[in-house]
């Protein structure tokens, strides 16, 4: 059974850092396209970052230069390192698997990141 | 950047048909995917590649895509279909994934 479990969210001050983790089971992270998608309170879905199976990475303009996506193949886990956090980064962060270019077929339950002083 | 526009809300009576549009420049040339999200839950893929359904999704959910508009159609609407719906594409010009603005479907 495919499962994605996020962790690492919490309350952080503006300018601070946080690392999110997404532990996968039932499939191999490194063989798939994996993304982070976030949703601010009461708002819509916003794509954040992707790491392709070949290792290429891409970021939304809103996080480029501040966030880094990576994976640990030995742990079958996806990460999102978030630096220089801002209030507008407050959101539930989901990790999601892309089904060979045909949409995100599996999502985690989400982890809440709150940036506030 | 590529923009996908959806109506904020759609209301429909039980048993009727709901149509949710997703507008984008020449969206007919892209593959469109649709997600259903209920309060407090993660999104669920209900239609991919314009009109295909993942296993477990009822046949009542269907999609089409042409020109500048993609449409998600929910036939014989049930109370359990009440949710937010998002369209999504991949923009090859930027290697970005783009979500629509979202539509809240209310079952009267």
Inter-chain CB proximity B99 and A105 less than 8 Å: no
Of the candidates B52, B96, B101, which has its C-beta nearest A47's C-beta? B96
A111-115 vs A91-98, strand pairing mode: antiparallel
Shortest CA gap B94–chain A (Å): 9
pLDDT in tens, A17-41: 999 999 999 999 999 999 999 999 9
Q: Which residue is closest to A61 within chain B, CA to CA?
A: B96
CA A15 from chain centre, in angstroms, equals: 19
pLDDT at A60: 96
Question: Is A44 exposed, middle or buried (CB count within 10 Å of its CB: 0-12, 13-18, 19+)?
Answer: middle
pLDDT in tens, B36-50: 999 999 999 999 999
Among candidate residues A103, A16, A52, the one with its CA nearest the CA of residue B72: A103
Residues of A with CB under 8 A from a CB of B: 35, 37, 44-47, 50, 58, 60-61, 94, 99, 101-105, 107-110
């Amino acid at each position: 059974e495919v499962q994605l479990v996020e962790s690492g969210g919490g309350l952080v001050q503006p300018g601070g850092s946080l690392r999110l983790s997404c532990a996968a089971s039932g499939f191999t992270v490194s063989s798939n396209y994996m993304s982070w998608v976030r949703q601010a309170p009461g708002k819509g879905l916003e794509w954040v970052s992707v790491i392709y199976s070949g290792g290429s990475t891409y970021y939304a303009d809103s996080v480029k230069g501040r966030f880094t996506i990576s994976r640990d193949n030995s742990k079958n886990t996806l990460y999102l390192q978030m630096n220089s956090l801002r209030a507008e980064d407050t959101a539930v962060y989901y990790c999601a698997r892309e089904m060979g270019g045909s949409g995100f077929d599996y999502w985690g339950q989400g982890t809440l990141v709150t940036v506030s002083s | 950047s590529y923009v996908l526009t959806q109506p904020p809300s759609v209301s429909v009576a039980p048993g009727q048909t709901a149509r949710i549009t997703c507008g984008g420049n020449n969206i007919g040339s892209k593959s469109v995917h649709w997600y259903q999200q209920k309060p407090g839950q993660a999104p669920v893929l209900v239609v991919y590649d314009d009109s295909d359904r993942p296993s477990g999704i009822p046949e009542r959910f269907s999609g089409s895509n042409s020109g500048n508009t993609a449409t998600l159609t929910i036939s014989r609407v049930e109370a359990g279909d009440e949710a937010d719906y998002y369209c999504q594409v991949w923009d090859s010009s930027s290697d970005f994934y783009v979500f629509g603005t979202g539509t809240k479907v209310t079952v009267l």
